[in-house]
Structure 1
Amino acid sequence: MRFFFTIILSLALSLSSVAQVPLLSAPDFTVKDVDGNLHHLYDYLDAGNLVVIDFFTTNCGPCQTYASEISASFEHFGCNNSNVIYLGINWGSDNETVRQFDELWGAHYPSVSGLQGGGNGVVELYEVQSYPTVILIAPDRSVLNNHIWPPDQLTLNSEVTAAGGVSMICTVNSGNLSIKELPEIRVTNISPGNVSISLQNTINASQRLQVYSVDGRLVYNQSPENNATIISLRPGVYFASLLENGNRKHTLRFVVL
């Protein structure tokens, strides 16, 4: 019996040591995230950035567990506004399914679906062997770490910092972010730490306004009583969602200054 368990343990250790992306140099790709933004890997690298890629599937338990951890690291390094770029590459799902995954599990870095954004092709190009696989790429296109495990905030921050990543507050040009809006939701920074969230359509009892922090924490959850709601929040990146009859209809990313 002891011999049997020794064999099982040895096998488990050997499997855990197998590289999840068996590449030393990162091949180029261009993909489109679920919001329609294009991401060209070599453009990021040629600009001197480190790139963190999270290869994931939407029905993978560990992918769900670590999504908010990766988001916390994404926020720690400036939400793609420092010298570190975070990108989620999905296998097998469409844009809407990936959006639902992101909202449910707190993945707020850019995500690319497998079926509509080009994710499946990148997964095949990188020969990904399991999920989640989180890798770190250097500006010279070398794969510095082909399987960061576990991909929690502490481990990711340590790996990225050691590679030269610079942490910064998760805000960008305040002149461009004082007001953010969709046809249905408008967010205005009215004073430091205070935002006004306005609903552009007629409110009704079936609606609910939710605000999430970038790491997936629900920080506001109320039925709107009028078209404008003032909320006090710490500086950072947030997501305002309008639900109707329990269904999420609209989500807007905004920054509190």
Structure 2
Amino acid sequence: MKTLRPLLIAFLTYASSFAQFTSDMNFTDIYGNTINPTSILNEGKHIYLDFFSTSCGVCNSVASEVANAYEYYGSNNENVFFLGVEYNSSISDCLNFANQHNSDFPIISGQQEGIDIFNLFEQSGYPSGRLINPEGGLEATFSYSEIANLTESLSNFISPIDNCDLVDLLSMEVNSQNGALVLNVFTDSPYLIPYPTFTLSNSNGDLLAQEQLNYYGLSGESSHNLQLLTDPSSWDSNLTIELYEGMNDGLVCSFDISLAAIEINGCTDDLAMNYMLNANLDDGSCIYAACNYLGFELLASDISFTEANFGDGYTLNIPMVNHNSIWLAYPMSETVILNPLDGMSCENCDFNVFGNPWGSEETLTSNVSLNFSTPIPEDYELQVQIYLTNLSNNGQEYESCQFNQIVSYNLNPDTLGCTDDEAVNFDPAATQDDGYCLYTSNNCGDISININGGWNLVGFSCGENIDAEIAFNPYINRLIIAKDYLGAAYLPEWNFNGIGTLERGFGYQIKISEAINEFNLCNP
């Protein structure tokens, strides 16, 4: 190994032993590219620094092995970045060196900033190597003998990335309507694997879905449609995605997956005629037999909500009629609550035998038991969908059916009435005021009202009779005319008082030019 000048060694003795790249350090390689080591480390990569000189014979002897290691570990596209650091040569000399040894990884020439990196890391000789970990610390140093077998030497610290590690299965979705398994993939490499093809198989090796030939390599996000070869409802829980290259000739990657990892769109309701066993995402395609079509009627107007006979719960009573000519043994109902409350539970929504037998033209009631851990909100409108099941035991074509109408029932309706406990008609059961509270008082003269511009009808409820001119005096500028029940008038503009005195208990018509707030005739 060649040792640098003593003067340089003496200088470096005083340099920091904890040298690291910083984010403001940018270097230009011999190809004109800007290298920011901190950005590379932030990507989770190691940096291998290859310290050398173009004029060093030993450096030349190991240069080909360094180039081989560079290619073996992904040519700077995987988890280690090779950076050549030359001591004192020009860009032209470094280019000649790279061409001679078939090397194309970045090199910083000594006459550019290579010498600066030598000084930063107190590098006193060459050839030498340093492996910087993603945190910026020194992970290993390499001498001549280790560089001569660099590919093997680096394997103690770094493993080359398998191409399969670069392929990430983002999502898998079965679309039953177009008969395809849609596979969304992210590949962290440009155009990896030529002519890729994905397949899906079960643990027995049976092919379940297969992609047609893909003419483009994998790069970034890509979507792949695998044609379904079997019904997804028959798939096992343990499956395998396989990736082939080159016209489906060579297996490249294999991914073990579970059936639960695949989003299977289909009908998830086992009451539907087209229920799909393995579907885990309902796509709205469920088809039901209509209960009304099969001869059953739901009496929505006769539904009631009562306190349970036993316990603290409630019962939603849903009457139904069997219009069939045959009777049914042990008919069952299922009740799906469409807008459940927090703290609400149903004891028999999923399984409710509501009678036996169910004769022709007979009305039976499905009693749905509900419990609430919190008070039922005012005006809560419960919405449910009703299904009948266990129908086929008496010759019905279908095992179950659905009533098309949504049942809505207000479990806690508002009670209209007077809610003011000072009113004579106060209703303690009322939950919403109806605006018709009635009052009695000996101090009616203290009551003020708001009246609109134009004609109004007002009552005179003062304790004593008052002359019309005195009573209306506060409003003289807005009063046009006042009349009593006999038609006698008070016309302030004409200074004419045909009414005389306003009498308690009588009403008067008045016309005013604009609205008056807090109108009161008793306190002129």
TM-score, normalised by the number of residues in structure 1: 0.53
Question: In the alignment, which of 26, 31, 34 is matched to residue 27 of structure 2?
Answer: 31
Partner in structure 2 of residue 122 of structure 1? 117
2:59 to 63, 76, 82: 63
Give yes or no for contact 2:147–2:153 (8 Å, CA) kept in 1. Answer: no
Equivalent in the alignment of 2:140? 145
Equivalenced residue count is 152
User: What secondary structure sits across from 2:84 in the alignment?
Assistant: strand
Shift of 1:74: 0.3
What is the CA-CA distance between 1:127 and the residue it aligns to?
A: 1.2
- CA RMSD, 1 decimal: 2.6
Q: How far off its partner does 1:67 sit?
A: 0.8
Q: Offset at 1:120?
A: 1.4
Alignment of 1:1-257 (within 5 A): 23-24=17-18, 26-28=20-22, 29-116=25-112, 118-152=113-147, 154=149, 156-167=150-161, 173-174=190-191
Closer/same/farther in 2, CA of residues 57 and 79 from structure 1, 3 Å limit? same
Q: Which runs of 5+ in 1 are unaligned?
A: 1-20, 176-257
How far did residue 25 of structure 1 move? 5.0
Write the distance in 2 (CA, Å) between the matches of 1:22 and 1:107: 32
2:111 is paired with a residue whose SS is coil
Tell me which amino acid in the other structure corresponds to 2:190. N
Query: 2: distance between equivalents of 1:80 and 1:168?
Result: 14
1:151 deviation in Å?
4.1
CA contact (8 A) 2:129 2:141 kept: yes
Q: Which has the larger radius of gyration?
A: 2
Cα deviation code 1:130-189 (max 9, x no counterpart): 1111111111111111334424464x23343332342457xx6249xxxxxxxxxxxxxx
Encode CA deviations 1:199-245: one digit per residue, 9 max, x unaligned.
Answer: xxxxxxxxxxxxxxxxxxxxxxxxxxxxxxxxxxxxxxxxxxxxxxx
Residue in structure 2 matched with residue 193 of structure 1 by the alignment: none
2:74 and 2:51 mapped to 1: Cα distance? 21
Deviation at 1:97, TM superposition (A): 0.9
Normalised to the residue count of structure 2, the TM-score between the two structures is: 0.27
Q: Decide whether the 8 Å contact of 2:19 with 2:121 is kept in 1.
A: no
Higher helix share goes to which structure?
1
Q: Relative contact order: is structure 1 or structure 2 higher (C-alpha 8 Å, sep ≥ 6)?
A: 1
Q: Decide whether aligned partners of structure 1 residues 46 and 166 sit closer, same or farther in structure 2, where only a CA change above 3 A counts.
A: same
Distance 1:152 1:133 in 2: 7
Whole-Å Cα distance in 1 between the matches of residues 122 and 45 of structure 2? 23
Deviation at 1:69, TM superposition (A): 0.4
Structure 1 distance, partners of 2:148, 2:43, is 25
Q: Distance in 1 between matches of 2:153 and 2:40?
A: 19
Secondary structure (helix, strand or coil) at the match of 1:45 reads helix
35-44 or 22-31, which moves further after superposition? 22-31
Partners of 1:22 and 1:134 lie apart in 2 by: 18
Closer/same/farther in 2, CA of residues 135 and 113 from structure 1, 3 Å limit:
same
Q: From the superposition, tell whether residues 115 and 48 of structure 1 become closer, same or farther in structure 2 (CA, over 3 Å).
A: same
Match in the other structure for 1:205 = none
Q: In structure 2, do the counterparts of structure 1 residues 129 and 168 end up closer, same or farther at CA, with 3 Å as the change threshold?
A: farther
Q: Give 1:143's aligned amino acid.
A: L
1:136 to 1:148, Cα distance in 2 relative to 1, 3 A: farther
Tell me, in whole angstroms, the C-alpha distance in 1 between the residues paired with 2:145 and 2:100.
21
Does the CA contact (< 8 Å) of 1:23 and 1:146 recur in 2? no
Amino acid at match of 1:85: F
